[in-house]
C-alpha cells in the first residue's frame, strides 16, 4: 500500500507555529523559560498580533506552552507528546524528498517488494527539499503504528547535523538510510560503492586507449558516497600510471532540487567546465552521475563538439534517460532495486531483534558497466 503524505506550509498562523515549534525543539527556549512577547514576534515575522496569538494558542492547546496574562508565555515541553494509534498497520515507512527522482523510486520499488514478501505495508512519504519536514514526519509516525523507517533524505547543512541526529534518536524507531546517506547520524546505510564506480569506468576507458581523462561531478561535505567517487578517480589514475591534472577536474556544489528538469544545473556547470578544459587535449570525462554526464553531452553538442568522436563521456546510475538520450550514454549501472531490498532486509532484522541504537553499519553495493554510444 502506498500512502503519500504531503506536508505543506499553508496559512500565516501555520508558518508562525512551525517556526516557534522548531525553536522549542532546538532548545532556543528551554522548559521553564518564557518565549518572546507577542509584540516582539509580530515585529519579527511581520504579521499582526492576532496571527501570533493564534499560533501561540495552538501551542498552548498542544501542551507546549502555558499563557499567563501578565508574565507571558512559558515553555512546558519541547515536543508534542502523541499517543500511539490503536490501529495495527504492521507497516514500515520510506521517506524521501520526491518520488520523481528515478534512483529514489527504483530504490523504493526494491524496498516495497521485499516488505511485501514479509506481509508488511509500506507508507511512502515525501518531504520536498526541507529536511525539517523529514523530522516532522518522523516525529508523527508513531500515530500510524510504523515499526521502522527507511530514509533517502534531504541532507541538512553540516552545522545542523547534530540537531538532526538528536531529533532522529528521539523518534525511538529503527531506521536505515537507503540509497543515500549522511555522515554522523549513527544510522545504518546502504549505498553504492562510489570508489568502485570510478575505478570501473576509468579502467574501461583505459582499455580503449584513452589517457587524458577528466572528472566532472558534484560535491557535498557530508555525503559518504560522493567523495569516494573522486577518490576512485585519483587512485585509479595513479594505479594506471596516468598523470593527474587538476585542471581537468570540476567538482561543484549542487543546489539542484528541480526533479522536473534534472539537467538544468548540470548543463550550466558543464558550459563552464568545457571552457576550463578547452585546449587541454581531454579525450574523455568521467561524470559522477548520469544527469551530469547528459548535461555535459548537451553542452558539448551546443558547441559542435561531437560525442564520442571529439570527447568521450561516461556516467553513473543507468537511468532511463541514459538509453534514450540523443547520444546514448555509456554508464555504470547502480543496483537501485537491490539496494532497496537490502535496506528492507537490514531494517527488518533491526525490528525483529530490537538491536538498532547507535549503529553505523554501512553496506556498499557494486554495479557494472553498460556500454552504449558515448564512450
The confidence score (pLDDT) of residue 222 equals 44
Q: pLDDT for 260-316, tens place per residue?
A: 677 888 899 999 999 999 999 999 999 999 999 999 999 999 999 999 999 999 999
**Contact (CB, 8 A) for 189 and 299:** no
Q: Give dist(CA 54, CA 45) in Å, integer.
A: 14
Neighbours of 263 (CB within 10 A): 22
The confidence score (pLDDT) of residue 191 equals 92
Sign of CA dihedral 365, 325, 285, 207: positive
What are the structural domains, with CATH classification, of the chain? 12-75 (1.10.10.10), 91-192+339-364 (3.40.50.2300), 194-334 (3.40.50.2300)
Q: Give dist(CA 189, CA 363) in Å, integer.
A: 6
What's the predicted TM-score (pTM) here? 0.72
Q: What are phi and psi of 243, to 5 degrees?
A: -80, 130
- Does pLDDT of 71 surpass 90? no
Q: What's the whole-number mean pLDDT along residues 58-65? A: 84
Q: pLDDT for 88-133, tens place per residue?
A: 667 898 988 777 788 998 999 999 999 999 888 888 877 766 656 6
- Does pLDDT of 5 surpass 50? no
Q: pLDDT for 156-213, tens place per residue?
A: 555 555 656 666 666 678 889 898 877 667 788 999 999 999 999 999 999 999 999 9
- Does pLDDT of 241 surpass 90? yes
Q: Give dist(CA 170, CA 315) in Å, integer.
A: 39
Neighbours of 31 (CB within 10 A): 12
Instruction: List, in order, residues 6 or more apart from 191 with CB less than 8 Å away.
Output: 177, 179, 180, 181, 224, 225, 339, 362, 363, 364, 365
**Contact (CB, 8 A) for 229 and 316:** yes
Sheet holding 312-317, edge to edge: 249-253, 213-219, 284-287, 312-317, 330-333, 368-370
As a three-state string, the secondary structure of the chain is CCCCCECCCCCHHHHHHHHHHHHHHCCCCCCCCECCCHHHHHHHHCCCHHHHHHHHHHHHHCCCEEEECCCEEEECCCCCCCCCCCCCCCEEEEEECCCCCHHHHHHHHHHHHHHHHCCCEEEEEECCCCHHHHHHHHHHHHHHCEEEEEECCCCCCHHHHHHHHHHHHHCCCCEEEECCCCCCCCCCEEEECHHHHHHHHHHHHHHCCCCCEEEEEEECCCCCCCHHHHHHHHHHHHHCCCCCCHHHEEEEECCCCCCCCCCHHHHHHHHHHHHHHCCCCCCEEEECCHHHHHHHHHHHHHCCCCCCCCCEEEEEECCHHHHHCCCCCEEEECCHHHHHHHHHHHHHHHHHHCCCCCCCCEEEECCEEECCCCC
The confidence score (pLDDT) of residue 304 equals 96
Residue with cell 535496506: 343
Q: Give dist(CA 191, CA 174) in Å, integer.
A: 18
Q: Give dist(CA 16, CA 103) in Å, integer.
A: 35
Give the total residue count for the chain.
Answer: 375
Work out the pLDDT band at 140, boundaries 50, 70, 90: low
- Does pLDDT of 258 surpass 90? no
Amino acid at each position: 500500500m502506498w500512502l503519500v503524505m504531503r506536508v505543506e506550509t499553508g496559512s500565516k498562523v501555520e508558518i508562525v507555529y512551525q517556526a516557534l515549534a522548531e525553536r522549542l525543539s532546538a532548545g532556543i527556549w528551554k522548559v521553564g523559560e518564557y518565549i518572546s512577547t507577542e509584540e516582539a514576534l509580530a515585529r519579527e515575522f511581520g504579521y499582526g498580533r492576532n496571527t501570533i496569538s493564534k499560533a501561540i494558542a495552538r501551542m498552548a492547546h498542544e501542551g507546549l506552552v502555558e499563557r499567563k496574562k501578565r508574565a507571558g508565555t512559558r515553555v512546558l515541553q519541547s515536543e508534542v507528546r502523541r499517543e500511539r494509534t490503536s490501529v495495527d498497520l504492521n507497516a514500515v515507512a520510506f521517506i524521501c524528498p520526491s518520488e520523481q527522482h528515478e534512483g529514489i523510486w527504483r530504490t523504493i520499488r526494491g524496498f516495497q517488494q521485499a516488505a511485501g514478501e514479509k506481509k508488511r505495508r509500506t507508507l511512502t512519504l515525501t518531504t520536498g527539499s526541507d529536511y525539517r519536514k523529514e523530522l516532522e514526519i518522523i516525529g508523527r509516525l508513531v500515530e500510524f503504528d510504523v515499526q521502522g523507517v527507511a530514509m533517502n533524505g534531504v541532507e541538512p547543512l553540516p552545522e545542523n547535523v547534530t540537531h538532526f541526529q538528536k531529533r532522529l534518536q528521539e523518534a525511538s524507531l529503527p531506521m536505515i538510510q537507503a540509497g543515500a546517506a549522511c555522515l554522523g547520524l549513527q544510522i545504518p546505510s546502504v549505498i553504492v560503492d562510489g570508489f568502485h564506480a570510478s575505478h570501473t569506468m576509468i579502467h574501461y576507458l583505459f582499455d580503449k586507449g584513452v589517457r587524458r581523462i577528466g572528472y566532472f561531478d558534484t560535491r557535498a561535505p557530508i555525503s559518504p558516497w560522493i567523495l569516494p567517487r573522486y577518490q576512485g578517480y585519483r587512485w585509479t589514475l595513479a594505479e594506471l600510471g596516468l598523470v593527474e591534472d587538476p585542471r581537468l577536474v570540476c567538482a561543484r556544489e549542487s543546489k539542484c532540487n528541480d526533479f522536473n528538469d534534472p539537467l538544468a544545473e548540470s548543463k550550466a556547470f558543464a558550459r563552464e567546465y568545457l571552457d576550463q578544459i578547452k585546449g587541454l587535449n581531454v579525450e574523455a570525462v568521467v561524470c559522477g552521475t548520469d544527469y551530469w554526464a547528459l548535461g555535459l553531452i548537451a553542452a558539448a553538442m551546443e558547441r559542435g563538439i561531437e560525442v564520442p568522436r571529439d570527447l568521450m563521456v561516461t556516467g553513473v546510475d543507468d537511468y532511463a534517460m541514459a538509453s534514450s538520450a540523443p547520444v546514448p550514454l555509456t554508464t555504470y549501472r547502480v543496483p537501485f532495486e537491490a539496494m532497496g531490498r537490502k535496506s528492507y532486509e537490514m531494517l527488518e532484522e533491526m525490528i525483529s531483534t530490537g538491536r538498532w541504537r547507535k549503529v553505523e553499519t554501512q553496506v556498499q553495493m557494486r554495479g557494472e558497466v553498460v556500454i552504449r554510444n558515448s564512450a
